[in-house]
Amino acid sequence: MKNLIHINKRKCRVCGCTNDDCRQCIEKQGHACYWTEADLCSACTPEVKHSKMNGPKQRKSLSSQAPTIESMVEHQEIKDRWYQSFIREENFNTGKTEMI
């Protein structure tokens, strides 16, 4: 439970999105973002990489380019929460009383 509390406090250093609110990322790229770094979402990663490319040359490691298991799990949790809220809203709009 301690890890979930820490995860929910994440905020992107570029756009300010969080696990609970990534509307601007959805508008920007058409889908929810995921964490590529502790404080950087996938929607902002290309911008940061572009600014790094124009700055001092840095050696890139392969491990920093691949998504981590933690970020993939968090991305799936975000998608699951979105889907559950969508189903709840759809059930409400159609008058269904089914539980998810």
By CB atoms closer than 10 A (0-12, 13-18, 19+), residue 34 is buried
Sign of CA dihedral 54, 56, 59, 64: negative
Cα separation, 90 vs 92, in Å, equals 5
Number of domains into which the chain is organized = 1
Range of the domain at 41: 2-94
Q: Is residue 99 part of a domain?
A: no
Cα separation, 60 vs 42, in Å, equals 17
Q: Is residue 82 part of a domain?
A: yes
Query: In tens digits, what is the pLDDT along the chain, a chain of 100 residues?
Result: 455 545 457 899 999 999 888 898 888 888 889 999 889 999 998 887 766 655 555 555 555 567 777 787 888 888 888 888 878 887 777 777 655 5
Q: Is residue 100 part of a domain?
A: no
This prediction's pTM: 0.44
